[in-house]
Amino acid sequence: MYRKTNALISLLVLSSLLLGACQSEATTQVEVDEKALDAAYTTFLRDMVMYNTISLDDLNKLLAEEPTPFLLDVREFDEVAETGYIEGAVVIPIRDLGQRTDLLPSFDTTIVTYCASGWRCTIAMTVLEALGWEHVLSLSGGSFSGWLNANQPIATDLPEAVPLNAATPDPTMLAIMADFLSNIPEELGMITVYDVNNEMMTNSDLILLDVRQTEEIQATGAIEGAVQIPLEELIARKADWPSDKDAKIVVYSSLGFPSIIAMTILWSYGYTDVWSLIG
């Protein structure tokens, strides 16, 4: 079984590399449809509850019910091979997600995304909600690391994903998402306090974006000079976004989820240098 799993992992990784090479040769500039993005994100942010997160306990409750949620693991294949995965999950690495929506269920199926820490699955949740899936949640509490720490059962024999072709996202929106997802930086948009401090001292054009609620800011203060736009108002206040889409932007919040969501949204609009404060 170990040899079969490694062989399958190698085949999947090789296929991904070959696909990436073909795409690099035929790269085209994807035009951003801001009206479509505006409408999709306005609905998502309006209907969002607790940043669309789900706890380990609540996930276990869902898994005990029928129908069970669709589990989406957005880690890399080598990570899954090393640590295992939640039984029944489909593995689509985050950078490939926009190209493999054929593996996903119908728009009205509940999807629970997870990754090593909660970072990548929050990106995935935001993208899938914008593409039309109606009930997408990201696993909190450390995501898969929390699952392991809680001694929850895992599977190790990576299954072959079967195309479902159960949903058809808008082609224009899908092209936008696939483009920026495939270009997510190696650091996944994470930036430390140390690096932000260095940027603040050396880059006078750095833009800090605080996406906390007004009451949070009033209670704890804010970083001097930060632009303050609550996440829920992000689309309504597009006029306050930087005009330069190549400007360096660091987003921050209290919990982390809101800033990751905001970073993902800005990426999809064509902003090229957006980061979310980690820790």
- Residue 261: domain span: 190-277
Q: Are residues 233 and 174 in the same domain?
A: no
Provide the number of structural domains found in the chain. Answer: 2
Q: Are residues 157 and 24 in the same domain?
A: yes
* Last residue within a domain, chosen from 182, 199, 226: 182
Q: Are residues 170 and 211 in the same domain?
A: no
30, burial (CB in 10 Å: exposed 0-12, middle 13-18, buried 19+): middle
Tell me the CA end-to-end span of the chain in Å, nearest whole number.
Answer: 39
- What is the widest separation between alpha-carbon atoms in the chain? 57
- The H or E element spanning position 179 is helix 171-182
Q: Are residues 166 and 210 in the same domain?
A: no
Q: Are residues 9 and 96 in the same domain?
A: yes
Q: Which of these, 72, 99, 116, 80, lies nearest to 18 by C-alpha position?
A: 99
Q: In Å, how far are 84, 153, 198, 201, 274 from 191, measured between CA atoms?
A: 27, 32, 11, 15, 10
> Left (φ > 0), alpha (ψ -120 to 50) or beta: where does 269 sit?
alpha
Q: How high is the pLDDT of residue 17?
A: 38
Q: How high is the pLDDT of residue 279?
A: 81
Per-residue pLDDT in tens (0 to 9) along the chain, 279 residues: 433 444 444 444 334 433 444 443 333 468 899 999 999 999 999 999 999 999 999 999 999 999 999 999 999 999 999 999 999 999 999 999 999 999 999 999 999 999 999 999 999 999 999 999 999 999 999 999 999 999 999 999 887 889 999 999 999 999 999 999 999 999 999 999 999 999 999 999 999 999 999 999 999 999 999 999 999 999 999 999 999 999 999 999 998 999 999 999 999 999 999 999 998
Q: Which of these, 165, 201, 202, 186, lies nearest to 95 by C-alpha position?
A: 186
Q: Are residues 203 and 118 in the same domain?
A: no
Q: How high is the pLDDT of residue 20?
A: 43
Which CATH number characterizes residue 111's domain?
3.40.250.10
Q: How high is the pLDDT of residue 11?
A: 41
Q: Are residues 165 and 197 in the same domain?
A: no
Q: Are residues 82 and 203 in the same domain?
A: no
Q: How high is the pLDDT of residue 29?
A: 65
* Last residue within a domain, chosen from 182, 207, 228: 182
Instruction: Measure the CA angle with vertex 191, ends 189 and 194; round to 5°.
Output: 170
Q: Which of these, 126, 155, 152, 156, lies nearest to 57 by C-alpha position?
A: 152
Q: In Å, how far are 31, 144, 237 from 176, measured between CA atoms?
A: 7, 28, 21
If DSSP codes are grouped into helix, strand and coil, which group holds residue 121?
Answer: helix
Q: Are residues 42 and 118 in the same domain?
A: yes
Q: Are residues 147 and 12 in the same domain?
A: yes
228, burial (CB in 10 Å: exposed 0-12, middle 13-18, buried 19+): middle
208 forms beta bridges with 250
Whole-model pTM above 0.85? yes
Q: Are residues 129 and 254 in the same domain?
A: no
